[in-house]
Amino acid sequence: MRRALPTVILLCAVCGWGGTLQGQSLLIPTGGRAITSLNGSWNSIVDPYENGYYDYRYEPKADGYFQNRHQSDPSDLVEYDFERSEKLAVPGDWNTQRRELLFYEGTVWYHRQFDYDLPAGRRLFLWVGAANYEALGWLNGEELGGHVGGFTPFWFEITDRVSPAGNDLVFKVDNQRKRDGVPTLNTDWWNYGGLTRDILLMEVPETFISDFTIRLDPDDPDYVLGEVRLDGDPGGQEVEVTIGDTGYGTTLPVDADGSGAFRFPAADLERWSPDDPRLYEVRVTAAGDTAMDRIGFRTVEVRGEEILLNGQPVFLKGVSMHEVSPLGDGRAFRPEDARTLLQWAKDLGCNFVRLAHYPHNRHMTRMADEMGLMIWSEIPVYWTILWENESTYELAERQLQEMIQRDRNRASVVIWSVGNETPRSPERLAFMTRLIGEARRLDSSRLVSAATEVTYEGNTLRLDDPLGRELDVIGANEYLGWYLGGPEDIPDHSWTSEFEKPLVISEFGAGARYDLHGDEGTRWSEEYQAAVYRNQLRMMDGIPFLAGTTAWILVDFRSPRRPLPNVQDFYNRKGLISERGYRKQAFGVLREYYLNRK
Ligand code: GCB
């Protein structure tokens, strides 16, 4: 008997279509899976008026572009043709692939064909790493479902729909910003649209491991614990869990629903840390299916105003980054992009990275596991979300769930962030408190933070945002020396906190165009930026409850809010490295500080 993965119907409030989204079952591309990539060159049609979807009354068409029609007779009227249309590379944003699409916000259709001979008794899933912002999919003219939210994965079972040859796969992707969306209309990053991450086919047996998680028991780290879930016909199945060649492992039954939990002693596991990012090959076997993953084991907790990694205080020497291609243009999507960005962070002396302001692709957190960098991972609850709108809350919560589900086996991830610089109000506090509760319900083994608001009183910065009461770690962004005063004003400032909790200064910085020189008072010069860094770091040494910082930002990134000609040219210039990979003076200032900071 086959049971479908639980699905949740999500109705898009704005465009009116209902799509299916996965509920609690998790399908992650791990080792042991038969995976076929659908990455490559796809056909595309730009459709700003959504003519391929709506008729003139603005009603959805039965005969939209998803039918992939062709003119079969010279008298046929068909006003589109995927095969003769321009190509777009997948994964990839459309904005940086065609000049005329740089500022485009709207709908683009994607199409490709594939063959797949699915053996009897096997199941096939189509897995999409991310599509920004709303996606709707069809296979062979039949609707698969949709997904809202640009930075998390989704998937569809296509076992009964796939043919051995000539399958037509179509996606409609719409990146229009929406007031009730997450993020909302206003952000300080480029709204890259498209099928921006890997698209894969995953073949599994009738009954397969749809989810597993494993971690050290936070209450007694001599034990590991976790959960397994099977999908299909789980009745009477036994699951085996082993950790590399350590001899640690267990077998467990699953209940009628396919769920099982385990806990077993594993006292001598080496701990994962930035100094020694030890990973073990964890293998889960059940019903002829095997899922494998390379997993590290570590604890993270808060004691008073300190953050402890494996029981020892650690200072988070960090930098923020957007998911931008380090040497190309647009969104990063390759493992090599992740390796380059994280290596630059290591060159800077970092042990910590803030992935701003949305979940980055899966390669980033996997690479951080391998390379030994702790990670702050965030959902795009940014600035002025519609706090009182229930469907906006559900969207935010869903993105939080999808982020945690994808990455909860990643040792590198130590902090889940529920948002950035959200202005104080009772409605926002209620919204954020619900999100924090959900993060803790899904994962009690990590810390929860957010960039909170700081109160400025003369030369004192006070941490008193009520959101701080709900968090494990207080995040705070401040731009002394850039948005407030000049570099020389910074050292006069001191900090107080209403909370006995660790503070991470989650942003500080200044803009500079690479190779623009001047004195320390000249805006946009490298010297100005370096002076801000020197004085910020001096000030930070005087904050007793400071447990870390993530400078803003590793690499210059495109932003429509930054038009100043010959300086910004639609880039936010607060990078320590230019978009072409050149290091600015401030890179050296922060590097020296981090290399000497205990
Ligand atoms: C902030 C935001 C960040 C911006 C940055 C800036 O406070 O959190 O997204 O890019 O300031 O450069 O102004």
Predicted confidence (pLDDT) per residue in 159-205, tens digit: 999 999 999 999 999 999 999 999 999 999 999 999 999 999 999 99
CA of 188 to the centre of ligand 1 (A): 6
User: What is the per-residue pLDDT for 327?
Assistant: 85
Tokens in use for 477?
A: 């962004």
* Segments in the chain below pLDDT 70: 1-31
Answer yes or no: are the C-beta atoms of 93 and 331 closer than 8 Å. Answer: yes
Ligand 1 pocket mutation, candidates 507, 554, 568, criterion most atoms within 8 A of CB? 507
Answer yes or no: are the C-beta atoms of 346 and 317 closer than 8 Å. Answer: no
- Residue 451 Cα: closest atom of ligand 1: 8
Tokens in use for 3?
A: 């049971």
User: What is the per-residue pLDDT for 19?
Assistant: 27
Cα dihedral across residues 526, 451, 373, 321: positive or negative: negative
pLDDT-above-90 percentage for the chain: 93
User: What is the per-residue pLDDT for 235?
Assistant: 85
Q: Which residue intervals of 386-499 are DSSP H helices?
A: 390-407, 426-442
- Which residue's CA is minimally distant from atom 7 of ligand 1? 477
For the beta carbon of residue 256, count every other beta carbon within 10 angstroms.
8
Taking the C-alpha atoms of residue 143 and residue 432, their distance in angstroms, rounded to an integer, is 34
| Helix, strand, or coil (residue 353) | strand
Question: Residues with beta carbon inside 6 Å of ligand 1?
Answer: 188, 357, 420-421, 477, 507, 552, 572, 574
CA of 311 to the centre of ligand 1 (A): 33
For the beta carbon of residue 372, count every other beta carbon within 10 angstroms.
20
- Which residue's CA is minimally distant from atom 10 of ligand 1? 188
Ligand 1 pocket mutation, candidates 382, 477, 556, 570, criterion most atoms within 8 A of CB? 477
Strands 494-497 and 460-463, by their bridges, are: parallel
